[in-house]
Amino acid sequence: MGKMSYIQGKVRRVLQLPLMITILLIPPLCISALEVFNDNAGYRIMSGNDTPAFAQEFFSFIEIENPVVQYREVELADDFYSEERLFIGDRVYLPLFDGKRIAAIIDRIDSDVNNTLTIRGRIEGTQFGYFLISHSEGRFLGRIDIPEERELYQLISSLEKEHYLFQVDRSKLDERRISEPIIIPDDHHQDRSYSHHRSTPRNNDLGEDDPAVIDVMIVYTTLAKNWAQSHSGGINNAVAQSMALAQLTLDNSQTHIIMRLVLSREVFHNESP
């Protein structure tokens, strides 16, 4: 009888061990307050003395036309370098300028065919505010948009993999984008039935609540690739941001459609006039 009790005691201790290990593994998965950027770097306000020549020399990786208000160099949290360290539902904080610090909830994480990681979050306290941050080969491209407050921020990495956060003058940027609407001529005829047939996704296996998936192929010229390398943190980041903005638009419109990048490739094309 004593030997049987001894054996049962051993079995109980062995069975308890996996449960104790499981409990110890749970806490590291909980992320409560992650800072996206470092919060101790100084910033500079662009003044009237900052000429386009100065801007081009200091920031050769951004377009001169960008109406930059202020900027600072930042270091991103290590979590944004790997998709294994962030989860949907995590709350992150983004320190901006003048002591402003906003909170956001991650609602989408994508890693595309180019192994480019894109994190999307919804800014708390706003209806349409969001951030998008893409990472590829040590460089970042991103934007923080708060339409309700008419504030727009851009994150861009230089060729040397230095990361900068810019505040953009939203009003001037909007003015530049205003253009004449595209008007279809009256004599333009189109086979509407053919167009509708070609643009309607078909998948007989989809249920009523299943999203439609649209596969996307993006091709770009050498000139576009070189521009993105210099001004957009690399072509893969530029492609990922375009896809993320398209998906954001679809999600905000509640279309129940998923855009999936299946291929992006350079094509050789003579772009000379």
Residues 134, 237 contacting (CB under 8 angstroms): yes
What is the reported pLDDT for 264?
A: 94
Q: Give this prediction's pTM.
A: 0.71
Across all residues in the chain, what is the average pLDDT? 75
CB proximity list for 142: less than 8 A, separation 6 or greater: 131, 132, 133, 134, 154, 155, 241
What is the reported pLDDT for 116?
A: 96
Buried b (16+ CB within 10 A) or exposed e, 30-42: eeeebebbeeeee
| Rounded Cα gap, residues 240 and 245, in angstroms | 9
pLDDT, tens only, 141-158: 999 999 999 999 999 998
- Give one word for 256, left, alpha or beta, with left for phi > 0 and alpha for psi -120 to 50: left
Look at the block and give the residue holding tokens 């339409």: 147
Sheet with strand 91-95: strands edge to edge: 34-35, 91-95, 101-111, 117-123, 130-136, 139-146, 151-157, 163-168, 68-74, 44-45
Beta carbons within 10 angstroms of residue 74's beta carbon? 19
What is the reported pLDDT for 13?
A: 52
Residue ranges of the chain with per-residue pLDDT less than 70: 1-33, 37-66, 173-206, 208, 271-273
What is the reported pLDDT for 205?
A: 67
